[in-house]
């Protein structure tokens, strides 16, 4: 019994040892398995090193990321801190026009593939483009570009001539005849008056029609139409003004409906008389009266009807209760609420000249001295861009100041207590020219051939451009209408507008209104108040026709003398 128990006890010891070995074995196997699993996990893959943009050159020049006047064919070189992977270029570099059209380009590589040479295909002149490089661009090791970049490019003017070269006299003939069509061919079919612009429907413009009447006189004199055709058009215009047009104390509104003659409000409170616009109309009518001087009934009646319109204007009433100044507007609904005085120096000298010249409602000299001249406060006397300016705002203001009143008033030899007016207008035009040549705002295209800041359309709007309000927009009327003052500079501009920009700026009625070469934009609009001075001032430059006619008015001679003007052209 004891022996059995001893054996059993020994067996139990051995069995325990075997179990312990199994446990130790299992634990060892587990440790070996765990170690083997840990050893099989690969280490993290190394991240490819990124790279950066270094330099940029467009046609061999570095100028930041904006380039204007880029000549074609063009070469853009982009250099980086490491060689690039050519396979990543197509999907990471885009070249587009601002309209969104994709531009194809060729690529080459330099500097051990760290410089990409891009040559775009088929770029158009005076067109903006955008070159974009995304972070999808990879280097040879697979690293990404650290930061995206964008390059803005605007191509240069195409300097080839768009039309055959003709003599300057032929060019002036062409510009006058083409511009004439705006007022004759495109005149309102019912009233015969000038449409405010080529998209204005039935809206006709009072001042622009005055300019248009002077254009009709020019057209007859240049034989673009016959005298009989000119008389017929003038009869239509004058009959409409006399019988249909709405007036206020003899003065006309800024805009009218060309069918009914009713006011089309220029603004909420400007829904009645506009004395300055009326003066432009009367300037044209008096010029036509002097031109159509025949003894036949048609011309005799035409002159009589013009005199009726002229004598009906109550210039003195616009003193607003006998103040010593003239007021621009009066409204049947708002009265004198705009309270806008006609003060110099601006485009309205003609308003005071005609108000003083009226034989029925004249104003005395004190109204001119106080209201217009501000008793001398309109004087300037400072020098701008090397030219001394007798009158007006700093840098002269928009150039229409030197045009609108002087379609009829001859400034040559004209003086009064405040200025010599040929000196004034020549100085104004030269300051405008010199400013554009100096080009302090670095507007692309400005220079000796491309200048002229005045009121015109701009992209999505309208503004009175000047050296103190320069938005990069050039209006052909500014330089061309300055021909009598700056003949050399104005002819340079005229040739440029026609020969170099003619594919974009020359239309059925002559030059379109304005353009911007810096942020490319070209108007497709024609405005009567910009077209009119072109044909009229070209004619004054060539023959003095409109100056001679207007200054021959006996009332104008008396009125200007009463204001203290002196001139060899006053009789």
- Domain count of the chain? 2
List, in order, residues 6 or more apart from 184 with CB less than 8 Å away. Answer: 215, 216, 219, 224, 225, 233
In 3D space, the residue among 279, 242, 278 whose CA is nearest the CA of residue 261 turns out to be: 242
Q: Is residue 14 part of a domain?
A: no
> Among residues of the chain, what percentage have pLDDT more than 70?
92
Residue 571 lies in a domain: no
pLDDT at residue number 32: 44
Whether residue 47 lies inside any domain: the answer is no
Question: What are the tens digits of pLDDT across the range 202-242?
Answer: 999 999 999 999 999 999 999 999 999 999 999 999 999 99
Same domain, 142 and 176: no
How would residue 571 be classed by pLDDT, with cut points 50, 70 and 90? confident
DSSP assignment of 465-486, as one string?
A: -BTTB--S-B-HHHHHTTTTT-
| 46 — pLDDT class (breaks 50, 70, 90) | confident
Question: Model pTM greater than 0.85?
Answer: yes
User: Does one domain contain both 142 and 206?
Assistant: no
pLDDT in tens, 253-279: 999 999 999 999 999 999 999 999 999
Query: Where residue 439 falls among pLDDT bands split at 50, 70, 90?
Result: very high
Question: Does residue 341 form part of some domain?
Answer: yes
The span from the CA of 274 to the CA of 348, in Å, is 12
- 119: domain range? 53-155
- Per residue in 395-427, pLDDT (tens digit) is 999 999 999 999 999 999 999 999 999 999 999
CB 243 within 8 A of CB 235: no
Does any domain span residue 567?
A: no
Tens of pLDDT, residues 356-397: 999 999 999 999 999 999 999 999 999 999 999 999 999 999
- Please tell me whether residues 182 and 131 are part of one structural domain: no
Count CA atoms within 13 Å of residue 555 on its CB side: 21
pLDDT digits (tens, 9 = 90+) for 480-536: 999 999 999 999 999 999 999 999 999 999 999 999 999 999 999 999 999 999 999
Could you tell me if 475 and 530 are in contact, meaning their C-beta atoms sit under 8 angstroms apart? yes
Q: Say if residue 134 is in the same domain as residue 196.
A: no
Residue 554 counted as domain residue: yes
Q: 27 in a domain, yes or no?
A: no
**125 with 200, same domain?**
no
| Residue 36 placed within a domain | no
Domain boundary among 155, 176, 204: 155
The CATH number of whichever domain residue 103 belongs to comes to 2.60.40.3710
Pairing of strands 461-464, 455-458: antiparallel
Domain end call among 124, 155, 186: 155
Same domain assignment for residues 137 and 205: no
CATH number for 419: 1.50.10.140
Decide which of 131, 155, 179 is a domain's last residue: 155
Shortest CA distance to 343 belongs to which of 380, 318, 373?
373
């Amino acid at each position: 019994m004891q022996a059995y128990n001893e054996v059993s006890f020994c067996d139990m010891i051995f069995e325990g040892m075997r179990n312990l070995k199994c446990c130790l074995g299992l634990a060892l196997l587990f440790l070996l398995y765990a170690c083997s699993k840990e050893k099989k996990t690969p280490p993290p893959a190394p991240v490819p090193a990124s790279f950066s943009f270094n330099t940029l050159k467009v046609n061999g020049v570095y100028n930041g990321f904006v380039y204007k006047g880029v000549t074609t064919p063009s070469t853009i070189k982009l250099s980086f801190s490491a060689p690039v992977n050519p396979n990543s270029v197509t999907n990471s570099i885009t070249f587009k026009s601002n309209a969104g059209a994709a531009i194809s380009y060729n690529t080459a590589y330099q500097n051990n593939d760290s410089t990409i040479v891009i040559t775009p295909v088929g770029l158009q002149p005076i067109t903006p483009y955008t070159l974009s490089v995304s972070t999808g661009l990879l280097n040879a090791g697979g690293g990404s570009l650290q930061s995206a970049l964008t390059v803005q490019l605007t191509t240069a003017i195409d300097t080839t001539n768009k039309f055959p070269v003709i003599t300057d006299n032929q060019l002036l003939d062409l510009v006058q005849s083409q511009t004439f069509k705006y007022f004759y061919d495109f005149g309102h079919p019912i009233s015969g008056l000038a449409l405010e612009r080529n998209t204005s429907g039935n809206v006709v413009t009072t001042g622009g029609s005055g300019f248009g009447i002077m254009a009709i006189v020019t057209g007859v004199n240049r034989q673009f139409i016959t005298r009989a055709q000119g008389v017929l058009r003038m009869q239509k215009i004058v009959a409409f003004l006399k019988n249909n047009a709405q007036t206020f104390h003899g003065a006309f509104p800024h805009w009218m409906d060309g069918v009914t003659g009713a006011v089309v409000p220029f603004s909420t409170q400007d829904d009645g008389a506009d004395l300055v616009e009326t003066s432009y109309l009367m300037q044209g009518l008096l010029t036509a009266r002097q031109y159509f001087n025949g003894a036949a009934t048609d011309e005799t009646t035409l002159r009589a009807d013009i005199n009726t319109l002229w004598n009906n204007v109550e210039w003195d009433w616009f003193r607003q209760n006998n103040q010593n100044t003239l007021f621009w507007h009066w409204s049947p609904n708002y009265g004198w609420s705009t309270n806008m005085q006609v003060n110099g120096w601006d485009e309205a000298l003609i308003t005071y000249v005609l108000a003083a010249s009226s034989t029925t409602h004249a104003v005395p000299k004190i109204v001119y001295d106080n209201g217009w001249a501000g008793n001398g406060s309109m004087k300037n006397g400072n020098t701008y861009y090397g030219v001394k300016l007798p009158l007006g705002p700093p840098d002269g203001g928009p150039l229409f100041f030197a045009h609108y009143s002087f379609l009829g008033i001859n400034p040559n030899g004209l003086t009064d207590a405040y200025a010599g007016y040929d000196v004034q207008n020549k100085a104004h035009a030269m300051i405008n020219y010199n400013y554009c040549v100096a080009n302090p705002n670095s507007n692309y295209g400005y220079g000796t051939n491309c200048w002229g800041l005045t009121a015109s359309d701009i992209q999505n709007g309208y503004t009175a451009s000047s050296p103190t309000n320069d938005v990069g927009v050039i209006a052909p009327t500014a330089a061309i209408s300055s021909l009598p003052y700056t003949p050399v500079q104005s002819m340079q501009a005229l040739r440029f507008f026609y020969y170099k920009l003619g594919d974009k700026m020359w239309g059925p009625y002559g030059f379109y209104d304005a353009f911007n070469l810096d942020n490319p934009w070209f108007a497709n609009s024609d405005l009567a108040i910009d077209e009119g001075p072109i044909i009229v001032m070209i004619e004054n430059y060539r023959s003095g026709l409109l100056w001679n006619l207007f200054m021959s008015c006996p009332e104008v001679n008396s009125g200007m003398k009463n204001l203290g003007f002196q001139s060899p052209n006053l009789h």
